[in-house]
Structures are given as structure tokens and as C-alpha cells.
Amino acid sequence: MSALWEGIAVGDEVVSETFVLTREHLVRYAGASGDFNPIHYRDDVAKRVGLDGVLAHGMLTMGIAISPVLTWLGDSGSIHRYQVRFTKPVYVPAVGSAQLTCSARVTTLPGHDSPDLTLSLTVTAESGQTVLGKAIVVVTPR
């Protein structure tokens, strides 16, 4: 068993971090990803298609959510599987920012049938709404 998760138990929170997202982050992500859908930078277009405003890219949200786990993990293991269900959009105001809090809790420990550690991610917006559902990370020790 990896030294990183010695002494942890099912239900333990291993990491939690809050991130701030601004429109500048969305522009930078659009440039890096090539996703220039105007719902990610134009309020008028977002509202015209029924949204409450500009929203963060789903893949950006997914990447932010796994970031604290990767930091916690370091060189002790690798991500074997990562899955999420997008449940609520992350709206980013024109002025100011949106906050996402990402935490990971142990759901299964390595055992005789599998060397993997499974974490459940909780990703919430400032409103308290969960923005990713069924967010699971499976980690294989090195």
C-alpha cells in the first residue's frame, strides 16, 4: 500500500480546495482548448439560448475538480479512471468571480481484490449547489 494513504479510512476527506474563476480564466481556457462557443464569453448569446449567463466550460470545471487530487497524489500513484456527470452549470459573472470548492473523500481502500483507491469528488459552487455529480476518481498506486 502506498505510504500516502496509510492510516486513512473510508469516509476520510483527503483534500479540499477552493478555486476562483473569472471571465479571464474562461478566455484563456478557450484559447488553450479551441472552444470558442459564445456561451462562454457573451451574456447576450448565453441568455438567448436559455442560460442565466456566461458559464464555464465543462472540461475546465472537470479539470479544476481533479486538480487538488493530483496535488495530493504527487508521485504516489496515477489516475486510473475519472468520471463525472455535469449536473449544474458554473456561471461566471462579467465582474467579479465564481468560486468552486472541490473536495475528495475516500470511498474504497486498496484490498486483496484491487490495489486501487477510490475517491468521491464533491464540487460545489458558492450557492452550495453541486455542479458535478457521480464524480469518481480511481487511483492506482505506484
Please list the pLDDT of the chain residue by residue as tens digits (142 residues).
567 778 899 999 999 999 999 999 999 999 999 999 999 999 999 999 999 999 999 999 999 999 999 999 999 999 999 999 999 999 999 999 999 999 999 999 988 788 899 999 999 999 999 999 999 999 998 8
Question: Which long-range contacts (C-beta less than 8 Å, at least 24 apart) are formed by 106-115?
Answer: 106/5, 106/8, 106/9, 106/10, 106/11, 106/12, 106/14, 107/10, 107/136, 108/10, 109/5, 109/8, 109/9, 109/10, 110/1, 110/2, 110/5, 110/141, 115/140, 115/141
Q: Is the CB of residue 115 less than 8 Å from the CB of residue 124?
A: no
Longest dimension (CA), the chain: 55
Cell of 127: 450557492
Q: What angle do CA 23, 25, 27 make, to 5 degrees?
A: 70
Three-state DSSP class for 100? strand
Please give the model's pTM, rounded to 2 decimal places. Answer: 0.91
Cell of 47: 441568455
The full set of domains in the chain, from first to last, is 3-20+61-141 (3.10.129.10)
pLDDT at 30: 96
List all residues 6 or more positions away from 140 whose beta carbon is below 8 Å from its beta carbon: 77, 78, 80, 115, 116
